């Protein structure tokens, strides 16, 4: 890396050097020049993202439970981000410190939130039910950083 353009692999380094939205300075002197997208002082991103890793052996049953919820309220997933929906990705087991002990499928759910913190998200109860089913019924793990 020459400091301007990425020039090689592997992609490793300190976490604070890998952020994609810049840093979040809390000083009044920064003039909001370096505010990150989730900074409450600006009208930044208005979505919430959650990610849950479900053990691969439990994925089929978990998806069937989601389908059962959607039958109760067919529009319940309409608040999810239009282009991403529910992103699913495979996660292999790893002996690494923050790795998974088992193979899993990670469900990344991006959904909109209101600018007003007192306004509930669209179909918030259904999204939270999906999270609770995953965590308590299927022993899923939340993403470490979300």
For the chain, 146 residues long, give each residue's pLDDT as a single digit of tens. 566 665 655 555 554 454 444 445 555 655 656 666 666 666 666 777 889 999 999 999 999 999 999 999 888 887 776 666 788 999 999 888 778 889 999 999 888 777 777 888 788 889 899 999 999 999 999 987 65
Are the C-beta atoms of residues 21 and 36 closer than 8 Å to each other?
A: yes
User: Is 0.85 topped by the overall pTM?
Assistant: no
Please count the structural domains in the chain: 2
Give me the CATH number covering residue 83: 3.30.70.2520
The reported pLDDT for the residue numbered 129 is: 94
Same domain, 88 and 60: yes
74: which 2 tokens?
């067919």
Task: Write out pLDDT tens, residues 43-60.
Answer: 666 777 889 999 999 999
| DSSP H helical ranges for 2-146 | 59-72, 124-132
Runs of H (alpha helix) within 1-146: 59-72, 124-132
Residue 74: per-residue pLDDT:
87
**What is the rounded distance in angstroms from the CA atom of residue 127 to the CA atom of residue 52?**
12
Compute the chain's Rg from CA coordinates: 18
Predicted local distance difference test score (pLDDT) of residue 21: 44
How many residues in the chain? 146
State the residue range of the domain holding 61: 46-142
Residues 111 and 56 in one domain: yes
């Amino acid at each position: 890396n020459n400091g301007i353009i990425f020039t090689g692999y592997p992609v490793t380094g300190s976490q604070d050097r890998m952020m994609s939205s810049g840093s979040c300075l809390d000083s009044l002197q920064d003039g909001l020049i370096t505010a990150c997208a989730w900074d409450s002082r600006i009208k930044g991103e208005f979505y919430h993202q959650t990610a849950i890793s479900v053990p691969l052996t439990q994925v089929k049953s978990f998806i069937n439970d989601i389908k059962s919820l959607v039958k109760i309220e067919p529009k319940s997933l309409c608040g999810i981000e239009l282009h991403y929906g529910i992103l699913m990705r495979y996660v292999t087991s790893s002996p690494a410190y923050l790795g998974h002990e088992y193979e899993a499928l990670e469900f990344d759910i991006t959904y909109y939130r209101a600018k007003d913190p007192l306004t509930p998200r669209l179909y918030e109860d259904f999204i939270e039910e999906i999270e609770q089913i995953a965590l308590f019924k299927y022993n899923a793990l939340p993403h470490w950083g979300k």
